[in-house]
């Protein structure tokens, strides 16, 4: 769920042959890790948080409140699932793919909601491991097995970026971590809010990451407003909706969860049966994670004026979040095609990236969560072909 679209609307982008197998395979060899990270960041002041997202006026007032900043600092525990390559490629053995999920998702988004990645058809992690890349899929702070600090004043994008910056710094140098370190290259693979964080990371720390694969993201047109469709997902306080899964002692007010199964499907997916397996969405809804009010307030694209390394945009052609009004029921979302597409428009955020290091692919017959659609392996193949051409 990404409210940056709502703010933009309210305030009136090679070809290397790659095998793309989809047959079942043995699961990746993975292990759980927990890393202590720390950060200081300039977060937004967040006044008058709405109790839930069923009141449009309260939501709009919260999102459009005057901009003011406050300094926050903290030490947090961040969970990650590290998976080893399942094929031998010495050139890629020292390149780590860091997988950063979006709102309402944890690390299992990248394994198609399996505990251990195995599906080459829908698991980015399994596909990347098969291409010879190690992967680290994280639960952002505020989600999954990571810490859950103040969801309004602390769990915001600036704080998230600085925490992940510390994580990357440790991954590059800290030999005390329970996984290999001193990585020569780090590839950021974001989805949705994870891609928004990627734009902020490349702006604030341009030398931190060697390449970005930004998925589930595009530049919305002036007449696109995702908020109406997202309101139909009926976000409520997580600890009230499901106090067993989201205990109040951990999930304080300000952690929200989508409660409408149909509404969330129409926001994140394309056509049932035709474009995706409904059973996968059933699992998705069952394991869905939270959105913090602080994240909803800070979903801004940043202009990365100094970052000059490769960037690839991979988004579903029918992404209702970035290329529509937040729901398939409110029109037929379409991200466009070619140089005038909303994916190609992402280049404006990366003015220092040479044209030869920027590319994009609109995955056909796919919604916002393109990895969970039938055409996912085509997107996986395109993105990894780009990485191969760029020397990764």
Question: Sheet of 358-363: strands edge to edge?
Answer: 30-44, 69-83, 135-139, 95-100, 185-191, 211-215, 311-316, 358-363
Q: What share of residues in the chain are helix, strand, coil (percent, to 5)?
A: 30, 20, 50
Q: Where are the beta strands (DSSP E) in 25-94?
A: 30-44, 69-83
Report the distance separating Cα 196 and Cα 57, nearest Å.
25
According to the model, what pLDDT value does residue 25 have?
55
**Beta-sheet pairing, 69-83 with 30-44:** antiparallel
Quick one: which of 214, 200, 195 has its CA closest to 311?
Answer: 214
Quick one: which of 122, 126, 125, 137 has its CA closest to 280?
Answer: 122
Provide the total of helices (H) and of strands (E) in the chain, helices listed first.
11, 11
According to the model, what pLDDT value does residue 65 have?
96
According to the model, what pLDDT value does residue 175 have?
74
According to the model, what pLDDT value does residue 14 have?
30
The tokens for 281 are 């969405």
pLDDT along the chain (392 residues), means of 10: 40 33 63 97 96 84 96 98 95 96 98 92 96 97 98 98 97 85 94 98 97 98 92 95 97 96 97 95 97 96 97 98 96 96 98 98 98 98 98 97
CA distances from 290 to 46, 205, 255, 304, 384 (A): 18, 27, 6, 28, 29
According to the model, what pLDDT value does residue 13 have?
31
Query: In sequence order, which residues have a C-beta less than 8 Å from that of residue 5 and are 6 or more positions away?
Result: 220, 224, 225, 226, 227, 321, 322, 326
pTM for this entry: 0.93
């Amino acid at each position: 769920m990404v409210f940056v679209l709502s703010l933009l609307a309210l305030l009136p982008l090679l070809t290397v042959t790659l095998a793309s197998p989809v047959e079942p395979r043995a699961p990746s060899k993975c292990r759980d890790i927990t890393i202590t990270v720390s950060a200081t960041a300039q977060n937004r002041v967040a006044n008058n948080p709405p109790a839930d997202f069923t009141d449009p006026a309260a939501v709009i007032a919260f999102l459009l409140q005057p901009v003011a900043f406050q300094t926050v600092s903290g030490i947090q525990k961040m969970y990650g699932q590290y998976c080893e390559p399942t094929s031998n490629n010495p050139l890629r053995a020292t390149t780590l793919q860091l997988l950063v999920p979006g709102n309402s998702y944890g690390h299992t988004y990248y394994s198609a909601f399996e505990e251990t990645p195995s599906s080459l058809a829908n698991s980015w992690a399994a596909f990347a491991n098969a291409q010879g890349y190690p992967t680290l899929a994280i639960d952002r702070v505020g989600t999954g097995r990571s810490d859950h600090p103040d969801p309004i004043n602390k769990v915001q994008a600036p704080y998230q970026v600085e925490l992940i910056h510390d994580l990357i710094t440790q991954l590059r140098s800290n030999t005390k971590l329970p996984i290999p370190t001193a990585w020569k290259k780090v590839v950021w693979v974001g989805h949705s809010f994870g891609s928004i964080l990627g734009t902020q990371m490349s702006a604030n720390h341009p030398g931190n990451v060697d390449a970005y694969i930004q998925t589930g993201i595009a530049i919305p047109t002036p007449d696109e407003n995702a908020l109406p469709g997202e309101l139909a997902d009926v976000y409520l306080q997580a600890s009230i909706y499901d106090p067993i899964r989201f205990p109040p002692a951990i999930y304080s007010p300000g952690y929200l969860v989508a409660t409408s199964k149909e509404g969330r499907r129409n926001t994140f997916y394309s056509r049932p049966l035709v474009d995706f397996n409904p059973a996968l969405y059933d699992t998705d809804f069952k394991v869905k994670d939270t959105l913090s009010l602080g994240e909803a307030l800070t979903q801004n694209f940043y202009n990365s004026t100094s970052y000059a390394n490769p960037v690839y945009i991979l988004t579903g052609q029918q992404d209702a979040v970035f290329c529509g009004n937040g729901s398939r029921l409110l029109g037929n979302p379409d991200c466009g095609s070619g140089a005038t597409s909303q994916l190609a428009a992402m280049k404006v955020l990366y003015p220092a990236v040479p044209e030869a290091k920027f590319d994009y692919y609109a995955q056909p017959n796919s919604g916002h969560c393109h990895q969970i659609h039938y055409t996912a392996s085509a997107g996986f193949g395109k993105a990894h072909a780009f990485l191969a051409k760029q020397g990764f």
